[in-house]
């Protein structure tokens, strides 16, 4: 950060030039990122980001395949290793050293949410599609759909930067008989061709739960691959505490000791990933008495253990 950045921030604030102020904030964050201070850059992004979009949904109304994704303002609830990989990926995307990224991992590990966070960091619009809807029982129709999808992507304006989320590409590997495999090879060939010809101004993020079964040649088309399965039990317990605290405040529940929450979540034989944890915690709070400190704890315990337990609180 330079003196000019500080002067600009002061001037924009005094003159109430909100857009210019916001642009300066992101320039500063990106400068820290390029100079290796990932944590400070991420802190600035999360601190300032309003969570609103840089384009409104109706600018993309009428698209056949892609849908505009509203980005939620949420903290990055990832272990350090995954968080650092997300930030590094954002950095190479900002510098236009890459534009095709593959996110791998089990359901609920945060692959789609990470795409939203990257869109926030890059101040880009995010459009997405669940890739399974492109597939049809008729292989020729599937080929036609994929061609239409990529033609639609290539026709989109990229003035503000654009990120396309192709969520759940696993349909490519679900069919194992010889005929289907041969057909899927054709589909993979078409996708590979369009990935090669994709404009460098468009960023593609693809998610998969079945990385080990994906075609190796297709994987090589991606500039970066991030594995989202790297959660320890302690990571998941930390995330559960944060989720509980955030939702308790949002739903106006009186405070509960998050250490108790941690103890309850540890009763799982195998602690689920954040997507499941969030749903369990949210439902436990939503259907409990906000004025009773322990009602939500009892409901959380019941949802985790599937039975009533006499808690000694």
For the beta sheet containing 162-167, the strands, ordered from the edge strand earlier in sequence to the opposite edge, are: 67-68, 125-130, 162-167, 202-208, 100-104, 224-227
Residue 311 is assigned to a structural domain of this protein:
no
User: Per the domain annotation, does 291 fall within a domain?
Assistant: yes
Q: Do 244 and 138 fall into the same domain? A: no
pLDDT for 57 equals 52
pLDDT at 45 (0 to 100): 62
Q: Is residue 67 packed enough to be buried (19+ CB in 10 Å), middle (13-18) or exposed (0-12)?
A: middle
User: How far is it, in rounded angstroms, from Cα 100 to Cα 221?
Assistant: 8
Residue 294, Cα to own-chain centre: how many angstroms? Answer: 33
pLDDT value for 256: 65
Domain boundary among the residues 29, 48, 67 is at 48
Structural domains of the chain, count:
3
Note whether 83 and 198 are same-domain residues: yes
Q: Report if residue 68 sits inside a domain.
A: yes
In a domain, 155, yes or no: yes
Domain that residue 280 falls in: 233-305
pLDDT along the chain (313 residues), means of 10: 80 73 73 72 62 54 87 80 90 90 97 92 88 86 93 79 90 64 84 90 94 92 96 96 87 75 95 96 88 85 84 55
d(CA 173, CA 102): 15
Same-domain check for residues 57 and 43: no
Please say which residue of 164, 198, 227 terminates a domain: 227
Q: Using alpha carbons only, give the angle 22, 28, 30 rounded to the nearest 5 degrees.
A: 105
């Amino acid at each position: 950060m330079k003196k000019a950045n500080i002067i600009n921030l002061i001037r924009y604030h005094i003159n109430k030039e909100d857009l210019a102020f916001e642009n300066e904030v992101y320039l500063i964050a990106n400068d820290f990122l390029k100079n290796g201070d990932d944590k400070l850059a991420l802190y600035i992004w999360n601190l300032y980001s309003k969570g609103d979009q840089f384009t409104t949904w109706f600018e993309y109304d009428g698209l056949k395949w892609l849908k505009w994704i509203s980005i939620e303002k949420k903290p990055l609830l990832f272990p350090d290793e995954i968080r650092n990989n997300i930030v590094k990926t954002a950095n190479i995307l900002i510098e236009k050293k890459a534009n095709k990224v593959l996110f791998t991992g089990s359901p609920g590990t945060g692959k789609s949410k990470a795409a939203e966070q990257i869109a926030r960091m890059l101040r880009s619009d995010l459009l997405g599609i669940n890739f399974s809807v492109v597939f049809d029982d008729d292989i020729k129709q599937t080929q036609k759909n994929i061609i239409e999808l990529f033609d639609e992507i290539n026709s989109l304006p990229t003035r503000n930067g654009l990120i396309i989320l192709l969520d759940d590409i696993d349909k490519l590997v679900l069919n194992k008989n010889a005929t289907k495999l041969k057909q899927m090879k054709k589909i993979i060939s078409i996708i590979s061709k369009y990935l090669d010809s994709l404009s460098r101004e468009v960023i593609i993020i693809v998610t998969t739960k079945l990385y080990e079964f994906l075609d190796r040649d297709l994987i090589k088309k991606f500039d970066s691959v991030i594995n989202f399965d790297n959660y320890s039990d302690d990571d998941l317990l930390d995330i559960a505490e944060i989720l509980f605290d955030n939702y308790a405040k949002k739903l106006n529940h009186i405070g509960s000791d998050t250490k108790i929450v941690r103890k309850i979540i540890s009763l799982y034989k195998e602690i689920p990933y954040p997507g499941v944890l969030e749903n369990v915690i949210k439902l436990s709070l939503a259907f409990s008495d906000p004025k009773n400190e322990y009602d939500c704890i009892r409901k959380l315990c019941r949802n985790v253990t599937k039975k009533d337990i006499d808690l000694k609180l």
